[in-house]
Amino acid sequence: MPEDVYRELSRRLMFENSTILPQIWKKVANQLEAQIICYLPANAMQVAEKFNLTIQHAASILEELFKRGAAFKKSKPQGAEYRPPKHIVQFHDATLLWKDAPADFKKLWVEFMNTEYPPLLEVVTKAGIPSFMRVIPINATIQPQSQVLVYEDAYRMIEQAKELAVVDCVCRLSHGNCNKPLNVCIQVNNGATYTLERGTGRTITKEEAFEILKISEEAGLVHMTENKGFGNAICNCCSCCCEMLRFAGNRATHGVVAKSRFTATVHATNCNGCALCTSVCPVHAIEVNDSAAVDAEMCIGCGLCATQCPSGAITLHETRPKEHIPV
């Protein structure tokens, strides 16, 4: 499995015909390391036996791949078991925090995300495949009588967290298209443990996490998490760099982001037509003539528009059932 090993790794991430992703894999892993990644899941003893290595050598390779973001580990009675990345977003986010990455590594990722990644999003949207990431609404903008679940309230998620950490936003780190806050990607529980073990982030208190949420909302960033019950991260995303959100404003690829269970509603009698809401909507779902009007199909239910409305004419209304969120 010589040169083809990098194409095989790319195929497993749904990019069999990519020309750029194999180059990224080559930066991350040499031939032996790439073959080991293809063999995973496995522990050090299994890798040692398969590739005729000492257990110590196998363990050091696996740990190095873990540090680079090319393998993920889980503690088990027989020793740590390592697995490959589950999908392209996980591989992207993990490897971009690799401290010793080559100089051109970010450039390759940007090129891939700008050219080869979007067609997959069109397929995902057309097929209705559930997104990896879901929008968390700004709680203060939700109509009072609505029922808000714990895992769709960023503040309550943090309140219930056992461990917290923060890392730089990898999307703004690689693209650099704006000057929005960078060190605002909150890692929760298992996500925090993973981050701290890799040495890619720092521990934070709940008070610090609350402050990060506040700073992010003031900067016009969208709270997002994994599209399941409790996620392992609360990302704070901009629409110019985020590899999910920047495609959500295009009808052909808007399925890349799972909407919150809420949709922005304009109370026309209170709207003064100032159009401030249009400048902050990350998906261009609002138009203003005499008053603002929301395109419900495109609205992702983030609540940023409501935070900017000076007349209080916009609120988020519950429009989707609890079952909208996979648990």
Q: What is the pLDDT of residues 266-293, one digit of tens each?
A: 999 999 999 999 999 999 999 999 899 9
Burial 152-179 (b: 16+ CB within 10 A, else e): bbbbebbeebeebbbbbbbbbbbbeeee
Higher pLDDT, 272 or 147: 272
CATH class in words for 4-116:
mainly alpha
- Give percent of the chain above pLDDT 70: 99
- pLDDT at 273 (0 to 100): 92
Q: Please name every residue paired with 11 in a beta bridge, in sequence order, or none if there are none.
A: none
- pLDDT at 150 (0 to 100): 87
pLDDT in tens, 311-327: 999 999 999 999 998 87
In terms of Cα–Cα distance, which of 74, 80, 72, 92 is closest to 27? 92
- pLDDT tier at 2, thresholds 50, 70, 90: low
Q: Where in the chain is the domain with CATH 1.10.10.10?
A: 4-116
For 128, residues 6+ apart whose C-beta sits below 8 A from its C-beta are: 255
26/208 Cα distance (integer angstroms)? 38
pLDDT in tens, 194-246: 999 999 999 999 999 999 999 999 999 999 999 988 889 999 999 999 999 99
